[in-house]
A and B are shown apart, each in its own frame.
Chain A
C-alpha cells in the first residue's frame, strides 16, 4: 500500500504539471494595429516601454531612431519579415534576441530546431536586438556582417554556444574557423547597412513595446519571453486558421 502510494505520488508529481493545459490568452494591441499579444504570466506585467541600456541619446542618434521608427511603421510586416518566402502557406516568425541573454540561447535553438523540423509550415526572420552592452553589440554586428558573406547561421550558432564574451580577437578567430573573410567582416560590421539593420530591429522592438529579450512575433501575435514549443505551435495553428496576414493588409 505504502509503496503503491509512494510510486503513484511520485509519478503524479512527475507528469501532472506537464499535462496541465497552458492557456492561450490573447489581447489585442492598440499599436501596431492588427497585432495582438500573448499573455504569459509574469512578462505581461506593467513595464515601462522598452528602454535599452544606451546613454541618453545625442540629437543625431535621436533623429536616426525617429527615422527608423517611421521607416518600420510604414511597412511593419515588411520590416518584421523582410523578404521571407511565404508561399506554401508558411507562417512567418520574427525572433528578436541578444547573444548574452540566457533565455535567448535556449529560445533561439528551439526556433531553429522548429524551422528545420517543419520547413513547410514556418519561416523565420532573425532580428538582432543587442541590449546587454558592448559584447552584445559586437556579437550582433558580427552576425549581421557574417550574413553578408552567407555565414549568418554558422555565426549565430557559434556565438550562441560561446561560453564567453565576444571580443574582436574572438571574432577574428571565429571568422578564420568558419572560413569567412575577416577583413571584410570587420569592414561590414561598421557599415551603414548593418547599422541600419540594427536600427530597424530596435525600432520594431519599440513599436511592439518589447520589454526585453527574447521576443517573438508569430504572424500577428506578439510573444514576450521564453515560452514552450507547444504554445508556439498552438499559436502557429491559430495564425493559420485565422489568417496571419490580416495585420499586414490593414497596416
Chain B
C-alpha cells in the first residue's frame, strides 16, 4: 500500500509542478539554513574527552585579588594557576595522572639541512599529558619522570612536524634545534587534532593542536613565558628579581588537569586542595574566601563559552527560520490538497477510508520532505562553504558536515514536512465525498 501511495504522491507532485516546487523549496531553504548554523554549533560543542568525562577535571584555585573576583571568568575564579601553585600541586600523589601546561613557541632548525627555520607552536607540559588526553604515539613515548622538574632537553614531535623535519621516518633519538639549542626527540605522536581543543580553551579553541611538546622542567633554564593569556593583579614585587620574581609572582598562566578515578580519590584530592589553600592562607596568600573548583570536560566547555552568545543567537534564528518555512509549507500544502479535493472525494466514494486518505496525503508530504531534505543538504554545504570563506580560515575544522549531520538534515526535513502536512491531510480526509460527486 505504501508503495502505491508513494507513486500516487509522485504523480501528484508532477501534476502541480509550481506549487510542489515552492513547497520543496520552502522545506529545502528552511532545512538548509538551519542545518548550516546547527552543524556549526554542533561541531563547536563537540567534547573530544566525552569518554573520560567522569574522571578528568580542570583545576581552578581562587588565588586572585583580595579586593575583587576574577572578572574575566564566568565563575569568578581564574581559569589558570600561578606557577608556584602548579608546581606545589604536582607534588601530590593522589591523582592517577596530572598535567600542568601552557602554550609556547620555539624556532625550529635542524643541523646540516638547508630547511628554512620556522616557528612551531609548542606545549610546555608534564609527561602525563599524552596518557591523560589519550594522545596516540607513532614512535617512542613521553619523556622520563624527572624531566617534569629538572631541565631535560627532550621533545615530542607532532606527526606533521616529524614529516616536515624527518620525512616521516622514526626520528626517536635524533636532534632538533629549538631556539638554537639541541633537543633530543623522544617520541612522535600520531595524527591528533581535537576540535575544540578541550585541553586549552584559552587561545582560539578551534586552532590546530601543537607541533611540539617539551617538558615542564625547562622553565628556569630557558626563562619561558607563556604564549597565551597571562593575567596578574599584583604588580608589586615579592622581594625577588628577574625571572624568579615572575615565577613566584601572583600571575596566572598555567593550565592544570587531574585524573581522579573514583569518588574516594576525588574526595581525597579535594581535602588535599583545602589543606593546601589553608597552608597558603597562613603565609598570607589566598586572601579571598577559600574556593577551588574541579570541572569535568563537558562543563569546562560551557564555562569557557566555546559556544558564545553569537552562536546561540544564530542557532535560535535558524530554528525560527525553519518554523516560518514550516508554516509556509502548511499554507501551500493546504492549498494544494484542497485543490485535489475532488479526487479525494471520488476515492472516498469508491470506498477509501478516512485513514487511507489521511495516510496517503501524509506520505505525499513525507515525499516533499525527502526531496526538500536532499536539496537542503546541498544548500547547507553551500552555506558552510560560505561560512568557511567568511571566517578566513578560522572555522575550517568546524564548518563541515559529517554523516550524522547529513542524516539529521534529512530527518529534520521529513519531520518538518510531516508536521506541515498533518493539518492539511486531516482536513482533506474529512471532506464530504457527496459534495464532489454532485458536480462531477
Please determine whether chains A and B interact with each other in the same assembly.
Answer: no
